[in-house]
Amino acid sequence: MSMGGPGDHPIGDLIHWHINPFPPDIADMLRLLYALNPEIRDIFALDAYDWVEGRSLDEGRAKLRAELAKYHH
Protein backbone atom coordinates (compact mmCIF):
# COMPACT_ATOMS: atom_id res chain seq x y z
CA MET A 1 0.00 0.00 0.00
CA SER A 2 1.43 3.38 -0.91
CA MET A 3 1.38 6.17 1.61
CA GLY A 4 -0.98 8.34 -0.45
CA GLY A 5 -2.52 11.36 1.19
CA PRO A 6 -4.98 12.02 3.99
CA GLY A 7 -8.21 10.13 3.42
CA ASP A 8 -6.68 7.52 1.09
CA HIS A 9 -6.76 4.72 3.68
CA PRO A 10 -7.61 4.60 7.40
CA ILE A 11 -4.30 2.99 8.43
CA GLY A 12 -2.34 5.54 6.41
CA ASP A 13 -4.38 8.28 8.05
CA LEU A 14 -3.47 6.94 11.48
CA ILE A 15 0.20 6.23 10.90
CA HIS A 16 1.31 8.93 8.50
CA TRP A 17 -1.15 11.76 9.00
CA HIS A 18 -1.98 11.30 12.71
CA ILE A 19 -5.71 11.25 11.99
CA ASN A 20 -7.37 8.57 14.11
CA PRO A 21 -10.50 7.08 12.54
CA PHE A 22 -10.43 3.99 14.82
CA PRO A 23 -11.58 3.20 18.37
CA PRO A 24 -8.69 4.14 20.70
CA ASP A 25 -7.65 0.59 21.59
CA ILE A 26 -7.54 -0.51 17.96
CA ALA A 27 -5.53 2.59 17.05
CA ASP A 28 -3.04 1.82 19.83
CA MET A 29 -2.59 -1.76 18.63
CA LEU A 30 -2.19 -0.64 15.01
CA ARG A 31 0.46 1.92 15.98
CA LEU A 32 2.38 -0.66 17.99
CA LEU A 33 2.13 -3.25 15.23
CA TYR A 34 3.26 -0.74 12.63
CA ALA A 35 6.34 0.02 14.72
CA LEU A 36 7.10 -3.71 14.82
CA ASN A 37 6.22 -4.45 11.19
CA PRO A 38 5.17 -1.80 8.65
CA GLU A 39 3.59 -4.57 6.55
CA ILE A 40 0.55 -4.47 8.84
CA ARG A 41 -0.79 -1.80 6.49
CA ASP A 42 -1.22 -4.56 3.92
CA ILE A 43 -2.22 -7.32 6.35
CA PHE A 44 -5.17 -5.35 7.75
CA ALA A 45 -5.92 -3.13 4.74
CA LEU A 46 -9.44 -4.45 4.16
CA ASP A 47 -10.32 -5.02 7.83
CA ALA A 48 -9.56 -1.39 8.58
CA TYR A 49 -12.59 -0.19 6.63
CA ASP A 50 -14.90 -2.32 8.79
CA TRP A 51 -13.29 -1.10 12.00
CA VAL A 52 -13.72 2.54 11.02
CA GLU A 53 -17.42 1.87 10.46
CA GLY A 54 -17.72 0.11 13.84
CA ARG A 55 -18.12 -3.34 12.28
CA SER A 56 -16.30 -6.52 13.36
CA LEU A 57 -14.57 -4.73 16.23
CA ASP A 58 -14.32 -7.73 18.54
CA GLU A 59 -12.98 -9.87 15.71
CA GLY A 60 -10.59 -7.08 14.81
CA ARG A 61 -9.31 -6.81 18.35
CA ALA A 62 -8.73 -10.58 18.40
CA LYS A 63 -6.83 -10.42 15.08
CA LEU A 64 -4.68 -7.54 16.30
CA ARG A 65 -3.93 -9.26 19.62
CA ALA A 66 -2.98 -12.45 17.75
CA GLU A 67 -0.66 -10.47 15.50
CA LEU A 68 0.92 -8.73 18.50
CA ALA A 69 1.46 -12.11 20.18
CA LYS A 70 3.75 -13.08 17.30
CA TYR A 71 6.19 -10.38 18.45
CA HIS A 72 6.04 -11.06 22.18
CA HIS A 73 7.46 -14.50 22.74
Per-residue pLDDT, averaged over 46-51, amounts to 97
Residue 4 in domain: no
2 located within any domain? no
φ/ψ of residue 11, rounded to 5: -70, -40
* Residue 1 domain flag: no
Predicted pLDDT of residue 73? 65
Query: What is the pLDDT, as a whole number, of residue 8?
Result: 86
pLDDT value, residue 2: 52
Q: Helices (H), strands (E): how many in the chain?
A: 5, 0
Contact between residue 31 and residue 1 where contact means Cβ atoms under 8 Å apart: no
Tell me if 3 is assigned to some domain: no
Which pLDDT belongs to residue 13?
A: 96
Q: Tell me: the pLDDT tens digits for 3-46?
A: 578 888 999 999 999 999 999 999 999 999 999 999 998 999 99
Helix (H, G, I), strand (E, B) or coil at 9: coil
> Can you give the residue range of the structural domain that contains 63?
10-69
Question: How many domains in the chain?
Answer: 1
Q: CA quadruple 9, 20, 69, 36: dihedral positive or negative?
A: positive
Q: What is the pLDDT of residue 24?
A: 98
